[in-house]
Amino acid sequence: MSKSKKDTFLFVGVWEQINNPDFNSLEFEGIRNEAGRNSFFLSVKKRIVSITNE
């Protein structure tokens, strides 16, 4: 993942922590750790479901 994409991903995580009462920080940590891999792919649906506990 390029530096700018990873920075964007980290920004979204901080934004979610501040603005989303249902934010699942443990799940986000797991996704964040995977984000550095070349094979990493995160669909919008997976992001919404995994980070908001839905």
DSSP state at residue 35:
T
- In which residue ranges of the chain is pLDDT below 50? none
Q: Is the pTM of this model over 0.75?
A: no
The pLDDT of residue 47 is 66
The pLDDT of residue 28 is 84
Contacts of 49 (CB under 8 A, 6+ apart): none
The pLDDT of residue 49 is 65
Place of tokens 């070349």: 38
The pLDDT of residue 30 is 79
Dist CA 1 CA 19 (whole Å): 25
